[in-house]
Amino acid sequence: MEKLVRIKRLTLKNPFIASSGTCGYANVEEIPLHLFGAAVTKTITFTPREGNRPPRLAETPAGLINSIGLQNMGLSAFKTFLQDFVKPTTLLVSVGGETPEEFSSILHELSKYDIIDGFELNLSCPNLRLGGEVVGKDYISVSTILDACVKATNKPILVKLSPFTEELGKILDYWEPLLEGFVLFNTFPAMEIDLKSGQPLLGAVSGGLSGPAIYPIVLNSVYKHKDHTIIASGGIASPQIAQKFILAGAKALEIGTANLWNPEFIKSLVSEEE
């Protein structure tokens, strides 16, 4: 039995959400996205972004480092894309930017589209920097963006945070009543060195680590903050790990790298629920 999940104003047919960056614009046919409670698009920025210089991927034990750098079609092309898009499940659009104004303009524009059920603010991409600092670094920088965002849309808002966000407790306490929930976490800043060249392997030098390597660290944070509305994200690559996050108090679970490793991974979770 697939369990219906209510996260304030968002209703999902099950707690499993396909993560941003692992299912294209919620249009990757190889992944059975209709089996998910929701799918989050690639992060949309105001103007198209070419993304980071390759190589963009590094293999690690039980994990994956990526430095895609938010390659995306940009707001204008995304609006055109939405015109004949048939969504496979509840559709959440991931939104990114470098200023509060960039976030709020995108939310304002996209709020006109009925097909969109809500937004996930990407305040945590380790590949996106504002004046050398990660966007959403601490309470002030997160709040500046969230202030602008809640005024720009009436649709549900989730915010995806970096594992290294400072003053996390303060952010959760203040913003809990104003948002649908908090996604803990985006990838962990990481890098790899190529032994042949002696140089950093990734074109962008550093990227973000995902996969089961990080799940116990995320589990620790989810459990610690379980009194808030937490959507767990980080290394959910088996039904057992999924179950641990539910037991830790997560209201829903984002599945990311596991979709890349096996596009039919969701089938193991949905049957596990039955």
Partner 1 sequence: MVNKTFDIQQEDFDTYKLISFGPVDEIPQPGQFYMFCTDYLKKPFSVAFVQENDIFFIIKKAGNFTSNIPSKLRIEGPYGKPFPKPSPNSTLISGGAGIGPICFLAQNLTQSHTVYRWFHGENEERSLRLLDRLPANPHQCTVLPTLVTDILNPSSSPYFACGPRAMLKMVVNKLGMSGFVSMEERMACGFGACYGCVIPTTSGYKRVCKEGPVFQAGDVAWRNL
Judge whether 253 and 246 are in contact, CB under 8 Å.
yes
Burial class (CB in 10 A: 0-12, 13-18, 19+), 222: buried
As given in the structure block, the two tokens for residue 27 are: 């249009």
Given the rule CB under 8 A, which residues bind partner 1? Answer: 21-24, 28, 30-31, 42, 50-51, 54-59, 61-64, 66, 68, 71, 211-212, 237, 257, 259-264
Query: CB 66 → partner 1: shortest distance, Å?
Result: 6
Query: CB 137 → partner 1: shortest distance, Å?
Result: 25
Catalytic residue among 65, 93, 110, 125: 125
> Kind and range of the H or E element at 120?
strand 118-122
Task: Determine how β-strand 230-233 pairs with β-strand 252-255.
Answer: parallel
Say whether 125 is catalytic: yes
Judge whether 234 and 214 are in contact, CB under 8 Å.
yes
Q: Which is nearer to partner 1, 90 or 259 (CB)?
A: 259
Distance CA 173, CA 45 (A): 28
Q: Which is nearer to partner 1, 133 or 194 (CB)?
A: 194
Query: CB 99 → partner 1: shortest distance, Å?
Result: 24
Query: CB 134 → partner 1: shortest distance, Å?
Result: 20
Q: Which is nearer to partner 1, 50 or 274 (CB)?
A: 50
What's the maximum distance between 2 C-alpha atoms anywhere in the chain? 52
Distance CA 159, CA 233 (A): 12
Q: Which is nearer to partner 1, 50 or 114 (CB)?
A: 50
Residue 72 DSSP class: B
As given in the structure block, the two tokens for residue 119 are: 């937004």
Q: Which is nearer to partner 1, 140 or 193 (CB)?
A: 193
Query: CB 106 → partner 1: shortest distance, Å?
Result: 20
Show which residues are catalytic.
125
